[in-house]
Amino acid sequence: MSDLAPAGVAETARLIRDGEITAVDALQATLARIEARNDELNAFTNVLVDEALAEAEARDIRLGGGADVGPLHGVPIAIKEEIDVAGAVTTFGGRGNSTPATADAEVVTRLRQAGAVIVGKTAMPEFGAFPFTESDAYGVTRNPWDPGRTPGGSSGGTAVAVASGMVPAGIGGDGGGSIRIPSASCGLFGLKPQRGRVTTAPHPHLWWALGTVGPLTHTVLDSALVYDVIRGNVDSDLYRAGGDASFVDAAGRAPGRLRIGWSVTSAALGVKPDPVHVQAVEDTARLLADLGHDVRAVDPRYPDPTAAFVPQFFAGIRSEAAIVEHYDRLERRTRETCRLGSWVTPRVRDWALGQTEKVSAKANRVFEDVDVLLTPAIAHRPARVGRLDGIGTVRASLRAMPPIAYAALWNVAGNPAASVPCGLADDGLPVAVQLVGRTDDEATLFSLSAQLEQARPWPLVAP
């Protein structure tokens, strides 16, 4: 069943519902693909073979009994290491925990309720601190398009698992670009939702106002399907988004004529985009104009997000480090990061949250004149692996600037933003652009991204 690799979420679910394959067939294809590719690429840190087989068998029994089934029935899905899966250790990418989680995170519960089969946990840098998926505990995760290159991060293991066809979809998190950066590096569609769109339970927040949870997928529709399953809140969530329109419906309708502003100016001082990414933005702007949109160059007048982002970054790392069982087993760089962030007291953190509101107001001025902002997704081409080898927090942070240059501002502002593939460059690696939407307006991004996907199809599975 290895030919299932390109099927994706919607097609795999359809094949199972229509009886053309079983959930066990789909899982066996996934496990075979993991067996063939994971030793080289290092996407999975923990493959839950027995648990997943039992879950797939239960899905087939339920469908065979004529019961109603969910939209993800039988679809194998991977989960990033920072998200709890019952029976598996939540490692946060390191060795700080050793006891398996006793319950699923709420997102995982919702996936299972929709019929998904949870396959395993995927690699990340420890606590997702930097946009390169490398750790002392699990080693280097490699880009399936070129194993000598990074897949980005911090949801790099998820991206590689999906891009290589090991699973139809995987769940990641995004606190400074960690869904969009690996999506751009690996040729996937990855949308960071509006702050508070998806619950972070059992935790009240993910890196305070910065972080969100969401899927990485091959197609726009696949992303919308997963989001419609996992979106929504519980009482303990610190943040909530507005609106409840179906993203699947949005992905299926034309966006109408939109005002689209484009810019290749970076929100990070001193970071210049690679010419390949400038060309991708310009080509996409022309395509959007040909599709009937009002497209123009704009000056986004980006505010400086540093005062809001940096304290929350340190506070996020320190809050996660504080809950692990074995602090002394954390990487030396992580412990250094915790020490360097000791100045972020609760009072400083709350001040930074106040700055977040000011940055958001200024960043959203661009939407007074346009409906969507088009930018590069990342500044530089995916780097050689080993970006974190032997370096400390300061050098790692400097190396992180090109990947997060266009992404992190929108974590501070809270707006939805998507990495949309543009195909492959001459170096054989994927190219992507970023689409940023108004507050609470993921629907427009889904509609517009689906239109781009139809007009300019992208490769689905890395060779």
The whole-angstrom separation of Cα 175 and Cα 209 is: 9
Q: Which two tokens stand for residue 16?
A: 């199972």
DSSP 381: P
Residue 374 corresponds to which tokens in the numbers above? 């088009």
Instruction: List CB contacts of 325: < 8 A, sequence separation 6 or more.
Output: 96, 97, 98, 99
For the chain, which residues score pLDDT lower than 50?
A: 1-2
Catalytic residues: 80, 154, 178
- Residue whose C-alpha is closest to residue 170's, from 180, 152, 181, 157: 157
State whether residue 44 is helix, strand or coil: strand
CB-CB contact of 122 with 79 (8 Å): yes
Angle, alpha carbons 11-152-36 (nearest 5°): 55
Q: Minimal CA–CA distance to 333: which of 385, 387, 396, 384?
A: 396
pLDDT, tens digit, 9 for 90 and up, residues 132-184:
999 999 999 999 999 999 999 999 999 999 999 999 999 999 999 999 999 99
Q: Does domain 2-455 have CATH number 3.40.47.10?
A: no
What is the pTM (predicted TM-score) of this model? 0.97
Q: How far apart are the first and last CA of the chain?
A: 17
The token pair that represents 322 in the structure block: 């504080």
Per domain, the residue ranges of the chain are 2-455
- For residue 1, the model assigns a pLDDT of 44
The whole-angstrom separation of Cα 82 and Cα 175 is: 12
Residues whose CB is less than 8 angstroms from the CB of residue 330 and which lie 6 or more positions away in sequence, other chains included: 94, 95, 96, 126, 321, 324, 338
Q: What is the pLDDT of residue 3?
A: 62
